[in-house]
Amino acid sequence: MDRPARDQFFLSPLNLSYLDPLYQEYKEKGEAASVNLRELFESIDREEVSQGETSAQSEPATSLHQELRIMRLINAYRTFGHLEAKINPINLKGMEPVKPLNLNYLGFADDEMHLSFPTCGLMPQETAPLKEIVAWLRDTYCGQIGIEYMGTENLELEEWIQQRIEPSRFKVQLPLETKKRILELLNHSELFEKFLHTKFVGQKRFSLEGGETLIPIIATLIESLAKAGGEEFVIGMAHRGRLNVLANILRKLRSDIFNEFEDRWLPNSFQGSGDVKYHKGFYASVKTEEGKEIAITLTPNPSHLESVNAVVEGQVRARQDALGKSSEDKVVPILVHGDAALSGQGIVYETLQMCGLEGYKTGGTVHVVINNQIGFTTLPKDSRSTIYCTDIAKTFGAPVFHVNAEDPEACIFATELASLIRQTFHIDVFIDINCYRKYGHNESDEPAYTQPLEYQLIRSKKSIRELFRDQLISHGFVEKEVALKLEEEFHHLLQEEMDLRSEAIHRPRHGSLNEPTFDEAREEMLKPVKTDVSLEVIRKVAEKIGRVPPNVNIHPKLATLLEERMSMAGIGKEVRPIDWGCAETLAFATLLNEGRSIRIVGQDSCRGTFSHRHGVLVDQKEHGASYTPLKNIHTEQGAFHIYNSFLSEYAALGFEYGYSLAAKDTLVIWEAQFGDFANGGQVVTDQYIASSEQKWGQQSALTLFLPHGYEGQGPEHSSARLERFLQLSAENNMYVVNPTTPAQMFHLLRRQALRKTPKPLIVMTPKGLLRHPQAVSTLEDLSKGMFQEVLDDMNPPEKADQIVFVSGRFYYDLAEERKKAGSSHMAIIRIEQLYPLHAEKVAAIVERYKGFKEAFFVQEEPSNMGPADYIIPRLQSLLPEGMPLRLIARERSAATATGSHTLHKKQHQHIVNALFKEAKPNLFDIARSSGKEPLSHK
């Protein structure tokens, strides 16, 4: 019968799954959600009545109600079919039926299997017996590939996938050349591992055996993505299979890999520490099978498994930003996970959360999971609460292909679809390779201790390569003699490269040629950089960023702020002293004016946590409209990116580190809301920022803004853990700075952007100094001079009896107390740059006060925190022989600060009293009377 257009719309395949439960409720309760739906359901009932009780089994059941029933069946398989897919090569329990696919549960009687039903577009014919419809669905959704894609809230994607898998029943028809290429890659994958196993007995390599299909999958992924526009690929992965990927995907010389197993360390051949072979990265420029030149980077990764995820995303975004619009297809991130790490590591969720955020998105990531179905010795039932290790993908609407590693052709078909999804829809997509580990967690491990039954099965299995080879031979695609000859030839090639491994040590590599000595590197880090800017340029950029177009309705207070900042730059009648926010903004503006690019990201960085920046001005009348002054200096300026980050430190910091690796000419800044929050990114600080140059030769100029200072805001809002960064400082690896004036911040930022040798910069940025009346600078401070690692006393005494070293905002408290106390024989010296310490400058200042009798280092942090342990031994060596450098600080403490503002003020006053020797009980008296550890030591 002809149906109204309205009914055709409601009964489209995409709407039937929605209508079915409503129809069932209508049948039970006689209710419907709307007049339209009630009319539709009544028409269905009328049609059923008009058809009557048809008993002829050969007649098709064509009513609308039957269409609803079939669509319910189809959608059940689309949604739950993967649960019965044959994807597990080591399934000990057998396949258990799942309730959502039970025909009786779906409302079908056993005697309906031979009845004809409408196919609803699933099959070429309009009607078919129910048993044939079910068989078609089982072939499609319960074969060697399980797919999860329904419920993504992306109807276009769901329909796109259905059109590509349902007509063919998800059957794989690969060309003969592709089959041979798969076999070749499996040969290279497995035989490489076997060769290592026999030549380097007992050495860790985190073998890929049992999951060798990873190599043809990644090779196919890159080929498919390249055909769809990909030009650069950045891969992040943990240990397992890394050496195999290096050899067979990035084509690193196998002789180099073999040489690394020999561990031929030579004195002075590498200035850094190096790293174990299965942590190292590599870059390669290779040609695809079609002859297209592509770039592949395998990013180094420490044992903090998934930490590399965010780093990769940052590298990709930096390259995309550099290439400009429409670059999402050109630069693609690929992340290779382990199953236990994917489901267990919080960094995975944090990184996925970036996928749609303006400041982070990269146009979709392809995730490949080496699903060994175990984590070290822990089974999935003990390591996750979800059915699949990939279930986090559902949160982000990412489709998942579950594949069986023992069916390489199905794996390749799924991989090609996954690559097309990424390039078409620019979303994340997962390929879950269900496989196993031939050996234990590493090659010296005995897995049968904890998984005896699994390893009985694994040790009885043929390898994936052998299974696929024998399959091709049995079908006549490959001759047995040819296959065996190819294996023999590749083994000979491996042996030849093994014989060449001794030559690998003589090849140039990072650290072996022109590597600066320690002293040369230190000298380079302390070399002055010209950072001054003419008054004319400062005024010019200040006016550009201070004038807002009349159609932008900014907050009245911000209009006043912009006027004040222009007056700080000498524009107008009144010239104000320059505060911290103005100096920072002028540093950014002058760099942008010179063509330098800047990226600053952090929690609330657009406004600034302490409302000092206002990098983005929000229109007060037009919803969502904003204006960014620093983007409007001139047409040829550098790019300026400023974003509020999501509430993360681990992934957010890793992303900016990765960005800094790929954007060498960009000043990249990550800002913590409070410096304490950097605790959440400690893995990135330890494993990447502080040590990656020494381990992997990666140079980063990432800058960290960490608000630091004791103002009575409690233990979570006082300390950026300065001591941790100083503990990590060695071998000229980074700068750690605690600046005290706006001009110092101005020159520091410009120095960081203009310095030729990249180094991370850790800045203890202030909170209380942002509006401190004494923490100001002049225009001349910006237009002349440069960053000073050490600042002498602003009002030096003619003759000093005491010299006091201090770092950071506490200087202003000491200077104020000195003024109150009238201490005219005390010199206060500020250590602005703690690492590397400019000892020569400190020594020169100390020499000016020759004849002093006492020396102190004063800090506001507890004595077991802050810079004390690091700086005192270094300063002590610059004092006259025999003179102690005494520490005055808060008592040793487990927490960084007290939560009581009253106690905070008392502790503060005790430090001041101890220095200025007032008659009140001092720190030492209190320590002695309480029986606690003293607050000062010699």
Confidence of residue 47 (pLDDT cuts 50, 70, 90): low
Identify the CATH number of the domain in which residue 239 sits: 3.40.50.970
Let me know if residue 348 belongs to a domain: yes
Indicate the residue among 139, 165, 191 that finishes a domain: 165
Identify the CATH number of the domain in which residue 648 sits: 3.40.50.12470
Let me know if residue 527 belongs to a domain: no
Residues whose CB falls within 8 Å of the CB of residue 285, separated by 6 or more in sequence, listed in order: 293, 294, 295, 296
Residue 339 has pLDDT above 90, yes or no: yes
Residues 805 and 745 in one domain: no
Residues 386 and 237 in one domain: yes
Find the helix or strand (DSSP H, E) in which 670 lies. strand 666-671
Distance, CA of 55 to chain centre: 63
Find the helix or strand (DSSP H, E) in which 600 lies. strand 597-602
Identify the CATH number of the domain in which residue 889 sits: 3.40.50.11610
Find the helix or strand (DSSP H, E) in which 184 lies. helix 176-199
pLDDT in tens, 179-234: 999 999 999 999 999 998 888 887 888 889 999 999 999 999 999 999 999 999 99
Let me know if residue 528 belongs to a domain: no
3-state secondary structure at position 865: coil
Residues 778 and 804 in one domain: no
Residues 542 and 689 in one domain: yes
Mean pLDDT (whole number) for 257-263: 82
Q: What is the mean pLDDT of the chain?
A: 89
| Domain span at 291 | 176-504
Indicate the residue among 741, 759, 783 that finishes a domain: 783
Q: What's the Cα-to-Cα distance from 860 to each of 77, 423, 545, 696, rounded to whole Å?
A: 65, 54, 37, 37
Residues 213 and 346 in one domain: yes
Give me 219's structure tokens. Answer: 């090779």
Let me know if residue 523 belongs to a domain: no
Residues whose CB falls within 8 Å of the CB of residue 66, separated by 6 or more in sequence, listed in order: 117, 118
Let me know if residue 937 belongs to a domain: no
Confidence of residue 46 (pLDDT cuts 50, 70, 90): low
Residues 35 and 112 in one domain: yes
Residues 188 and 330 in one domain: yes
DSSP string, 487-520: HHHHHHHHHHHHHTHHHHTTS--TTTSSPPPHHH
Residues 500 and 548 in one domain: no
pLDDT in tens, 287-316: 999 999 999 999 999 999 899 999 999 999
Let me know if residue 515 belongs to a domain: no
Residues 643 and 698 in one domain: yes
Query: Which percentage of the chain shows pLDDT scores above 70?
Result: 89
pLDDT in tens, 559-575: 999 999 999 999 987 88
Block residue for tokens 């303006």 = 358
Instruction: Note whether 615 and 642 are within 8 A (CB).
Output: yes
Residues 629 and 674 in one domain: yes
Residues 211 and 306 in one domain: yes
Residues 450 and 596 in one domain: no
Number of domains observed in the structure of the chain = 4
Ranges 217-226, 359-368, 469-478, 739-748: which has the least confidence: 469-478
Indicate the residue among 765, 783, 801 that finishes a domain: 783
Ranges 98-107, 566-575, 578-587: which has the least confidence: 566-575
Confidence of residue 739 (pLDDT cuts 50, 70, 90): very high
From the DSSP assignment, how many helices (H) and strands (E) are in the chain?
Answer: 34, 24
Mean pLDDT (whole number) for 624-643: 95
Give pLDDT, residue 3.
47
pTM of the model: 0.90
Percent helix, strand, coil in the chain, to 5, is 45, 15, 40
Instruction: Note whether 352 and 395 are within 8 A (CB).
Output: yes
Let me know if residue 935 belongs to a domain: no
Let me know if residue 48 belongs to a domain: yes
